[in-house]
Structure 1
Amino acid sequence: MAAAAWWKIHCTPEETQETLSRIRDNASPGPTYFVLLILSTLIAAYGLVSNSTATVIGAMIVAPLMGPILGLGLAVVRKDSETFYSSLFAEVVGVILVILTGMLVAFVVSPHSIDYALGEIVGRTRPTLYDLAIGFAAGLAGAYCTVHPRLQASVAGVAIAVALVPPLTVTGLTMAGALAGETRFEAPLGSFMLFFANFLTIELASIIVFLMAGMGELDAVFSRQGLGRSLIIKLMLLVGTGWFLTNQLHNLVRERIAGEESRRVLSTYLGGVKGARLESSSVQLSGQGTSVYAVVTSRQEIRPAQVADIEKLLNEALSNDYRPVTLSVRSISSTWASATEFLDEPPQAKPDPEAQRRQAFNRVFTEALSNQPIELESFRLLPDSEGARRALVTVIAPYAMSPPLVRELEKRVNDGVAKESVLAGPPVKLTVRSVVIRSANADQDVPYSAPDTRSQAEKDRLAFEAAVRERLTQLVASHGGSTLLEAHVSQDKEASTENLQVEKVRLVLQAPKLLAADTVTAWEKELGEAFSNETIQREFQLEIEQRLGATIGRSLMEEEARKAAQLRRIEASLSKVVSSAKGRVDGQPVVSTLAPPKPDAKPILAVGAVVVTPTALKPEVVKKWEKSLQSDEPDYVVKLAIDNRIGRLLGP
């Protein structure tokens, strides 16, 4: 009796028949097959999303996808067309069902909430040539256990090793993620290629085992007709898949080399940066070069110049195949502390004296303007001159800065400069540039008046000039229909002495005839007597520009006098009520008489005045003032119009 070949697997006819029947049953696309396939896909999908290795292993055990692949191998060696097409249908439909179920789970969970960087997902998107060898060995083991009834318990372990459902599930998950923009389309392609490599190697391995078990003829396998032709096509696909996986392995090796070298360069460079640590790094290869991404924890942020230095070192360390190398660094601020102090403190930059001076000036200018509705826009320090420091200050204000306001601001600035040690030196002289703005609320413009910064002497002088003009108005009006049009009072300081003050008054008046010289002399004498006292004597010199006008009757003169008296009365009454609101009347009120709206009605007395108050006036306050004026003028209907300006009152 001839000895049996060593490579043959010996099975009894009963065992062979039982194996054939079992393979055909497992390869048929029945309800049980699809139920187990959907359940295993759901288990795998949620295991992958939660990064649970144990859950994914459970899905591998339940998955029935290996049965149709073994059925395809058996159909090839036995020329069984019915089993071949049944198994092919079951496998194709099963693959589509797994991918669609994986996509459905992804959309239910939401692709935006899935972390596609998890190890269980990423590990199945980048197959290599090693996976081809694993699939072939698992196929041999699976087919060998299948033809030996006594080894059926080992089929579960083979299913775990070959892992058909998880790669297809990853294909569905990553396809949904790619459609949602959460990952790239290379991910579903890579995971499907992992399944396809396992599919081809398992079928090839099963054909070899079935031939060794004597379940078919070798001629049927390599026949150019029928099912043998499909094997030739699959071998060609296997070669193509092997080339793809070899390329993947080559890229993986290149990425690992680039990753290790980039980590070495980064760690070496960051070792010289106090407090800096390399947290993580990753490498991405492309046809345009290599991209390196690093996350660094540091007490101070990594600056672009430092990134450029590291990028240069990376280009020198890696070969031409990897160039150009681009580096992106994300800095995470972190501190290290012991029980007594902070560790790895970055060096502190020495303070810049010029920057300190500018900061101090900014504080001084801002504080000096804080009590006014004025904002500091900018300032520029000018060269010193005439023993003083000079500054050009630009402010945003509701009114122009007058010389008195600049003087007050200059005083406040110098008071503030005296408190700043870094600003010790000569006094500061200001040139102020005003950017005037308008303010408004929802109802109206909000006017602002410049604060009254006049000294008491200036106020006394203005009051004196107003009194002189009022007295001149009376003198001119008493002269036969003459009217005072203008009066300008100024002191002649050259002619004045300690006890004598000479006042020059330029008059513009209208009169029906030329004034006599003795009239002018009389006016000068009367003014001198009216405004002289025990401490000072005043002498008035009048310069008169006279304009001839029509003769004015006595009745008109009396009317003018009545109007002047009425104006003084209204001015006094208005000043009284305004002062009660802590305000003042700015200038002289304007009074005009309007015709009554009806023949039997009282004439209207329109009174307009500019009033400066600390806060905006309310309508009811103006109405109250109007009633007060009405009581003084019972023959008229008084209408009061106030131009309210917001400002502060200076002086005693």
Structure 2
Amino acid sequence: MTPKNLTSLIFKLVEQPVRWFEYFTNVINDKDNAEKSELVLTDEDIEQLQKQGLNKQTIDKIADEVNEQLSSNANVEIEPKNPSETVKSDNFSNANLAKSNLEKSSENTEYLSLNQIDKKIADEVEKQQAEQEAKRQAEQEAQYEAFKQYLAKKNSQKEVDYRQVRIDIESGALPTKMFYLLNGLAAVIAGFGLLANSPAVVIGAMLVAMLIGPISGIALAVIDARFALLKKSLGTLVSGGVLIYSVGLVLGWLFPEQSYSHEIIVRTAPNTMDVMVALAGGTAGAYAMISHNLSVAVVGVAVATALVPPLTASGILFANGEYSLAWGAFLLTLTNILAIQFTNALVLWVAGFRRLDIDESEDERVKDSKVRQVWLFLRRNAVTAVLLVGISGYLTYNFYQQIDQQRYEKSVNQIIEKGIEHQPSYVLNSSFQQEKNPYADGITPDKYYVIRVTMQGLVAPKHTQVAKMEKQIQDLTDKHFKRPPVKLQVRFVPEQVIESQPITKNDVKLDDKAINQMTDTKK
């Protein structure tokens, strides 16, 4: 025997057992997969279904049919198991019924031949069979749908997996390399989105942010009274925040010209509405963590949107010396963190994620009293609650000041526009700023509220008009608003209309008074 033939023989001897092994392995795997995919009904499920009018035999039959339908990608038509037997069993009764119906209907008709009668009977039998089959399929479909609805309802009412949720939260609070990498990338993307004034880029950056993990870890540590987890989560959150802020500092130093975009400035004046958004986002994020029907990733993106952009914006502004604006953006970030942490703790506490006092006797007293449980929750979240209430009060005051300033500016602009309504001029812009009086001598005010208005047109307003508008603004300020004495300054930009034909009343569309003023100016 040659070496080649020997090798071929050995290969065949080895190949055959391997093939048999693969065959039996596939059979076992197919059997296991089939068993895993089959519906398993508990005694409680069967009892609930029997209350809906289904007997044990019907439940087993429907379970097999539904399992087959749910396991298939195609629409499975519902058909009776043995339609021929059903037809045979009903033929005699249907034929008798059809014959009786024909006899009743033929009493008032002419004589029919035997062939016509047989045909009539056959048609009537077929009609009765079709009606009964349609009725049977409708009843069977209703039973199938009731069974599926029960399964869906049971799946939606699954209890919270406390063990798995705790593991997920604690793993998200770990300071891993992935945590720092993704948050660093999120800060870079968000920073360039802020500098480019692109909301879409800013929102897209949050797809990779991971700040929700340590915040949820802090919430779980607080309600469980676990100092080790609290320390680890705080360290992860602070280190991640420092990384994001550092990225903002670098971007602000590299691109100082783009550091005052609208997307950056809008995050420097937090108010009560930002607190409400953070509270709602934190609640949604916590509920998604404990619910198996919701994806926490989507809510995590929404929550991260309230954290990474303002923190990055604060770093950009700080690098350019805008410390007041940088503080406003940082305050927004701090407010969002506190609101998200508090709502996370509240949702987890209500869902049963709580570890009571270590003392067993104290545990028993707290378990029997809802008031004591609420007090225990507030006691463990006292620091967060006090900070959140204090900052919310400050932001509410700022919000009221912003609304008051908007009302004041709108009223002043209305007075100015009314003062020049009969002149060929219009307001370009206006600014409001409180300034010190450099000529204060104890008699004149130390401060003025300077209102600078830029106008453009054909005829400049007179000094008497400016004085009249200033007096009206001062009366409005004294009556409804608290401001220093008002000083109105008008900057006028002359405008000249040049046309191929002489200016006429119809061309300019001015009243007689304005035309006369233009004529006096030319003279």
If the TM-score is normalised by the length of the shorter chain, which range does it land in? 0.5 to 0.7
Paired letter, 2:482: D
Equivalent position to 1:264, from 397, 403, 414: 414
Q: TM-score, normalised by structure 1?
A: 0.46
Structure possessing the higher radius of gyration over alpha carbons: 1
1:157-168 alignment runs, 5 A limit: 159=302, 163-168=306-311
What letter is aligned with 1:101?
V
> What letter corresponds to residue 22 of structure 1 in structure 2?
D
Residue in structure 2 matched with residue 88 of structure 1 by the alignment? 234
- The 1:320/1:96 distance shift into structure 2, 3 A limit, reads same
Q: Give yes or no for the alignment of 1:114 onto 2:273.
A: no
1:169 Cα offset (Å): 1.4
Structure 1 counterpart SS, 2:454: strand
2:214 corresponds to = 68
Q: For the residues of structure 1 that align with 2:157 and 2:227, how far apart are their CA atoms?
A: 26
User: 1:36, 1:294 → 2: CA distance?
Assistant: 48
Q: Give the match for residue 244 of structure 1.
A: 394
Tell me: CA distance 1:94–1:317, structure 2 relative to 1, closer, same or farther (3 Å).
same
* 1:347 match: secondary structure: helix
Distance 1:49 1:25 in 2: 33
1:135–1:162 Cα contact (<8 Å) kept? no
Alignment of 1:348-387 (within 5 A): 349=520
Query: How far apart, CA to CA, are the structure 1 residues paired with 2:422 and 2:249?
Result: 48
1:292 counterpart = 2:451: yes
- Return the offset for 1:162: 5.3
Which sections of structure 1, spanning at least 5 residues, go unmatched? 2-8, 353-652
- Deviation, 1:289, is 6.2
Equivalent residue for 2:225, pick from 66, 71, 79: 79
Matched residue, 2:348? 210
User: CA 1:315/1:146 → structure 2, altered by over 3 Å: closer, same or farther?
Assistant: same
Q: Normalising by the residue count of structure 2, what TM-score does the alignment of the two structures yield? A: 0.57
Q: Aligned residues: percent identity?
A: 28
Give per-residue Cα distances to partners, 1:47-85, cap 9 Å, x unaligned: 112211111111233222222111100111122222211
Pick from 192, 198, 208 the counterpart of residue 46 of structure 1: 192
The letter for the 2-side match of 1:277 is: Y
Inter-partner Cα distance in structure 1 for 2:435 and 2:351: 48
Q: Which amino acid aligns with 1:243?
A: G
**8 Å contact kept, 1:162–1:198:** no
Deviations 1:373-423 (A, max 9, x none): xxxxxxxxxxxxxxxxxxxxxxxxxxxxxxxxxxxxxxxxxxxxxxxxxxx
> 1:198-236, CA deviations, whole angstroms, 9 ceiling, x for partnerless residues?
11111110011111221114668999xx99866212211
| The structure with more helix, counted as a fraction of residues | 2
Contact 2:310 2:333 in 1 (8 A): yes
Q: Compared with structure 1, are the counterparts of its residues 311 and 62 closer, same or farther at alpha carbon in structure 2 (3 Å cutoff)?
A: farther
2:488 aligned partner: 327
Q: What pairs with 1:465-614 in structure 2 (closer than 5 Å)?
A: none
TM-superposed deviation, 1:325: 2.6
Q: Which residue of the partner structure matches residue 418 of structure 1? A: none
Q: 2:469 aligns with which of 307, 310, 314?
A: 310
Distance 1:207 1:156, change over 3 A: closer
Unaligned ranges ≥5, structure 2: 1-43, 45-155, 359-365, 367-371, 437-446
Q: Distance in 1 between matches of 2:189 and 2:311?
A: 13
Contact 1:255 1:284 in 2 (8 A): no
Aligned mates of 2:421, 2:317 — CA distance in 1: 39
Give RMSD over aligned pairs: 3.5
The 2-side partners of 1:142 and 1:350 are apart by: 68
Q: 1:20 to 1:336 in 2, by over 3 A?
A: farther
Is residue 104 of structure 1 aligned with residue 250 of structure 2?
A: yes
Q: Is the 8 A contact 1:76 1:228 kept in 2?
A: no
Give the distance between the partners of 1:206 and 1:235, measured in 2 at CA. 13
CA distance in 2, matches of 1:234, 1:81: 15
**Which runs of at least 4 in structure 1 moved beyond 6 Å after TM superposition?**
220-223, 226-230
Matches of 1:229 and 1:204, distance apart in 2: 12
| 2:518 maps to 1:347 | yes
**Cα offset, 1:333, TM superposition:** 3.9
2 CA distance for matches of 1:304 and 1:40?
56
Partner SS for 1:322: coil
Partner of 1:277 in structure 2? Answer: 426
Q: What is the number of residues matched between the two proteins?
A: 335
Question: Which AA in structure 2 matches 1:170?
Answer: A
> Secondary structure of the equivalent of 2:429?
strand
Instruction: Look up the equivalent residue of 2:162 and give its one-letter code.
Output: T
Structure number having the greater strand percentage: 1
**Deviations, residues 553-609 of structure 1 (Å, cap 9, x unaligned):** xxxxxxxxxxxxxxxxxxxxxxxxxxxxxxxxxxxxxxxxxxxxxxxxxxxxxxxxx
